Amino acid sequence: MKLLRIALLAIITFLSVGSLSYGQTRAELERRKAQLNKDIEMINSSLKKTSSDKKVTLKELNALKAQIRLREEKIKTINSEMRLLDGEINENMNNIRSLQAQLTQLKSDYAAMIRFAQKNQGAYSKLMYVFAAKDFNQAYKRLKYLQQFSEYRVKQAQYIEDTQTKLKGKVALLNKNKKEKDNLLSDQQKEKNTLGKAETSQSNVIKQLTSQEKKLRQDLSQKQRDAAQLDRAIRAAIEREIALAKKKAEEEARAAAAKARAEGKEAPAPSTSKSSSVLAATPEAAKLSASFVSNRGKLPWPVTNGVITESYGTQKIGNITKESNGWTIRTNANAPARAVFEGTVSRIVEIAGKNVVMIRHGEFFTIYQNLKTISVSSGQKVSTKQTIGTVGSDEDGVSEIHFELWKGMETQNPGSWLAN
């Protein structure tokens, strides 16, 4: 029957209107925004400490830069949320229009059935319709048709009620989407206003610092001396590891050659490797190096919660530039420092009054500077995320850890290795 086909089509369409595929992405964006809010709150607390003195400092500038970066990222996250909401709103509006059209058609069909039933509602008319059949088989089919028609009227009424309920739900969801978008727009505007103020503060701090260029150069020179001292210590430690690895490889090669001669076989050719690849010469070191590489971009941070205040590479402040071999991460007071991957503690030293832990991962090394306490010892094997100490704080109560990652004698950008 035509009416039955229309109703079935309406029900199929009704059931096929599922939830949108934005849920997981929306949830991820919400989690990211919540984390950004925590980071912003932490950096704001840090800013209050560094700006309490009338004298501006590099730490205040770094905190402002970090705050600006976080707020910019939060605005981008809000924009992504609004794009998804716009998609949801459009989809829900289309669903509402479709359900309204279905409801109109269902009501029209139901009205036609009611009119037909009213015209033929008498028991006599139904009996005449059945007895007017040519034979018993046709009479039976007419009787079944009347029964099905009656049942279908009940089902059609239920279809209408279900469609109305679904329509109300979609309208409520649409109103919720619009309210969420209004809230996001308000949050976005608030962040833009705060961002503008932070950028103004940053400009003022840069002006004050550049006006005190002599003092700034002195401060940076001290930082660069500390960095150079750390660099020398790291390179010396890595060179020592390479020398030990070469010595071990040479001893193994001599033992293999002696064994070959004793067995009357040709001695294996000696290794000519002179690079840091000798750090991965043993099967264990090679496996650890390969595992480290396979986790590129997924390694955990050296602290559970932190904000980058100094990035890897060249940093420019006014007319002055400085180099950084790693990340400086501001974190909470007494935050636990943790190993980013399994390995062996290669060295523990004190540089410029700051404790440094160096961990070897095959041919890779990770460096953790500015630890107040250390809970590991040289030669100790550590696991991923194992606590190796606590982060130290300066006289202003600002807690920062300096983290570096090396492959042999070459520095690496932590941003390419740590999880985003």
Per-domain residue ranges of the chain: 2-211, 216-416
Q: Where are the alpha helices (DSSP H) in 120-212?
A: 123-131, 136-211
- From CA 288, how far away is CA 15, in angstroms rounded? 52
376, 368 in Cβ contact below 8 A?
A: no
Q: In this predicted structure, which of 161-165, 183-187, 301-305, 387-391 has the lowest mean pLDDT?
A: 161-165
- From CA 246, how far away is CA 282, in angstroms rounded? 11
Q: Provide the pLDDT for residue 55.
A: 58
Paired with 313 in beta bridges are 324
pLDDT tens digits for range 390-402: 999 887 778 999 9
310: pLDDT strictly greater than 70: yes
What does pTM read for this prediction?
0.63
CATH topology of domain 216-416: Glucose Permease (Domain IIA) (2.70.70)
State the DSSP code for 416.
Answer: G
- From CA 185, how far away is CA 249, in angstroms rounded? 63
With H, G, I as helix, E, B as strand and everything else as coil, classify residue 296. Answer: coil
- Look at 19 and 41; give whichever has higher pLDDT: 41
E-strand stretches of 198-253: none
Angle of the 2-16 helix axis to the 58-119 helix axis, nearest 10: 170
275: pLDDT strictly greater than 70: no
- Exposure of 34 by Cβ count < 10 A (0-12 exposed, 13-18 middle, 19+ buried)? exposed
pLDDT-derived band at 274 (thresholds 50, 70, 90) equals very low
pLDDT tens digits for range 75-109: 888 888 888 878 877 887 887 777 777 777 767 77
Q: Which residues contact 412 (CB under 8 A, 6 or more apart)?
A: 405, 406
Percent of the chain topping pLDDT 90 = 24
